[in-house]
Structure 1
Amino acid sequence: MANYIRFDWAMKRLLRNKANFGVLEGLLTTLLDEKITISQLLESESNQEYEFDKYNRVDLLALDSKGELILIEVQNNNEYAYFQRMLFGVSKLVTEYINRGEGYENVRKVYSVNIVYFSLGHGKDIVYHGKTEFRGIHENDILELTPFQRQTFKVDAVSQLYPEYYILKVNDFNKVAKTPLEEWIYYLNTGEISESAHAPGLAEVRERLKVDGMTKGEREAYYRHLDNIVILRSNIYTERAEGRAEGRAEGRMEGRAEGEHAKALEIAHRLKAMGLSVEAITGATGLSVEEIEKA
């Protein structure tokens, strides 16, 4: 399998070109389960580049053909208040994209798509969807729109008027991709696409996001980006290991060491799939060259 450019790097450098909208449209069509056409990209927070943000996170704001706003964010760093940040980002969009004096019927629909490379919350799934419904306290019924409201707003449910959130916990995916969405998750996690994958947008990824299609300068900058990701995740891993060490009795040292070694091997396997050099992986995990080659 060929290696392809990581999605966060592509969002930052490549997918802002209208010729590459097919990649984003494919991901959104697969995730939202409806045909999404992007009409333009709008100014977003990540357009102001800061050194840390270059590898910590990236966001992209799209406007689709129906006038809906879609905020796509990739987060590499562990952030305990990320749920609140999702809310903040959506709230800003709701208020920024309505002119003063306009009626509330002009509030834009917002989709918040969050691709996270860390353990967010506690759950068993890899993709989560959040929306707003009003449920009766006594009757347990869902509050519905009137026929006039459905006709005016061209939606069938109250929840369709409110922001919707999607969380893709891509690091937690460790099985064979069987659905179009799983094919996308596999690519987001590993940077690889199987020959049998046919999800919308992945053909565009194959065509436009090949690492070997980069110029020498682009490739060097991209590998520096990957090295930064390694350092970032290694720091997170080290902090967690130190925290566990402080909280465990001395008699569990051997079992912990085995667990940490297994985790290091797992990280090494993922970094190899991303195309990093053995030397970079050694520095990030502390494993020997022989251990990494076997990972």
Structure 2
Amino acid sequence: MLAKPLISFDYAIKYLLKNKGDYDIIEGFISALLAIQGYKPVKINALLDGESNKETAELKRSIADLVVEDEDGNKYIVEIERTLTANFMHKACFNTSRLVVDSIYGNQNYTAIKKVFHISLLYFSKKEMNKPIYHGKTIIHEIDTENPIDMRIANQGFVVYEHHNVFPEYFFISVLSFNGVINNELDEWLYVMKHSDTREDFKSLYMKKVAERLSILKMSTEERNAYYYYVKEAMQAQDMLTAAKIQGKEEGREEGKIQGEKIGIEKGKRAERYTTVDLLRKKACLSACG
């Protein structure tokens, strides 16, 4: 275990992307993640400007939007974001939709759409998520069969593409759900995400450089201050979410109390009406019997 603490992984991505010499660390993480779905290793080609679309700049705050390329020349957009809210799927859908729109804006050539890989780093507890990594994508199949089909379509330029290379793919990483057991390279990345640390027994070629580059004590004063500001902002965001949940529960309890009182009053009135009716019936019966 390292004596010097590492900065949080989500901030590390932003920090490392400032220097092209550190791109290989981010490339190693993305490649290890994509490999579980059969994709080849990738290299970073370019960084997309997350602030280019001012319409959604405040709504869409990704850690990084990257253009990557594999060894076969296939280019993809990779979006990485930190998420503190349980509405992470809605946020992922919104962000990838904006990326697709932005990638063809002004061109209107829909076949130019790059495939988007969305990666959400989830930093909250959710009992339904007992595994650290979840993956999702659109699968097309015939109505009368469950077997997926693999459509190959050629556009006017005779470029052939497959439908699964058009629709976005989503990776949701539940950081807090990782159990700490290291079985492969991706587990080492999960360990770093959860503990902001590395171990001496890690086998990934990137981990030594991760430890060297991400030590807080090796940052400049300006870099360290920027990191502490980032942590403060993240903690404030978490506090706001917690406060909103507490307020929601309190408002729910108060609303429930009011509704309960209304129901109780209504039941009391009904009971009073029934009692009055019963008394009248009894009086009528006694008069008839007398």
**TM score, norm. by length of structure 1:** 0.68
1:240-259 correspondence runs (5 A): none
Aligned to 2:123: 117
* Distance change (3 Å), C-alpha of 1:16 and 1:179: same
What does residue 74 of structure 1 align with?
82
Match of 1:105 in 2: 111
Counterpart CA distance in 2 for 1:197 and 1:125 is: 21
Letter in 1 for 2:78: I
For residue 11 of structure 2, what is the aligned residue in structure 1?
9
Correspondent of 2:132 among 103, 126, 141: 126
Runs of 5+ in structure 1 lacking a partner?
A: 249-295
Aligned to 1:180: 185
Between 1:117-126 and 1:176-185, the stretch displaced more is: 117-126
Tell me the SS of whatever aligns to 2:146.
Answer: coil
Identity of aligned residues (%): 28
Name the SS for the 2:140 alignment partner.
coil
Distance 1:230 1:106 in 2: 39
SS state at 1:119 partner: coil
> What corresponds to 1:61 in structure 2?
65
Secondary structure of 1:97's aligned partner: helix
SS of structure 2 residue aligned to 1:16: coil
Identify the residue that residue 268 of structure 1 maps to in structure 2.
none
Flag the 1:189–1:90 CA change in 2: closer, same or farther, 3 A: same
Q: How far did 1:88 drift? A: 1.3
Conserved 8 A contact 1:132-1:159: yes
Q: Which residue of 2 aligns with 1:136?
A: 142
Distance 2:13 2:133 in 1: 20
Letter in 1 for 2:163: V
| 2:176 aligned to which of 168, 171, 179 | 171
* 2:25 aligned partner, one-letter code: V
Q: Is the 8 A contact 1:16 1:41 kept in 2?
A: no
Instruction: Rate the CA distance shift 1:200–1:36 in 2: closer, same or farther, 3 A.
Output: farther
Stretches of structure 2 that go unaligned for 5 or more consecutive residues are 254-290
Q: Which residue of 2 aligns with 1:277?
A: none
Deviations 1:131-184 (A, max 9, x none): 1111233222212224979xx6566x5323311111111012133222211111
1:111–1:165 Cα contact (<8 Å) kept? yes
CA distance in 2, matches of 1:13, 1:46: 20
2:165 to 156, 160, 163: 160
- Tell me the distance in 2 between the aligned counterparts of 1:12 and 1:37: 16
Which has more radius of gyration?
Answer: 2
Q: d(CA) in 1 for partners of 2:66 and 2:141? A: 31
The separation in 1 between residues aligned to 2:154 and 2:229, in whole angstroms, is 56
In structure 1, how many angstroms separate the alpha carbons of the residues matched to 2:14 and 2:152?
43
Call closer, same or farther: CA 1:60–1:200 in 2, change over 3 Å. Answer: farther
Task: Give me the TM-score of the superposition, normalised by structure 2.
Answer: 0.69
Aligned to 1:271: none
Show the counterpart of 2:260: none
Closer, same or farther in 2 for the Cα pair 1:167/1:229, shift >3 Å? Answer: same
Question: Secondary structure of 1:110's match?
Answer: strand
Instruction: Give the Cα–Cα distance (whole angstroms) in 1 for the partners of residues 137 and 29 of structure 2.
Output: 19
CA distance, structure 2, for counterparts of residue 111 and residue 200 of structure 1? 24
Q: Contact between 1:130 and 1:165, CA under 8 Å: does it hold in 2?
A: yes
Shift of 1:35: 0.6
Q: Does 1:226 align with 2:231?
A: yes
Report the CA distance shift for 1:121/1:111 in structure 2 as closer, same or farther (over 3 A).
farther
Shift of 1:128: 0.7
Separation in 1 of the partners of 2:215 and 2:238?
24
Compare relative contact order (CA 8 Å, sep 6+) and give the higher one, 1 or 2: 1
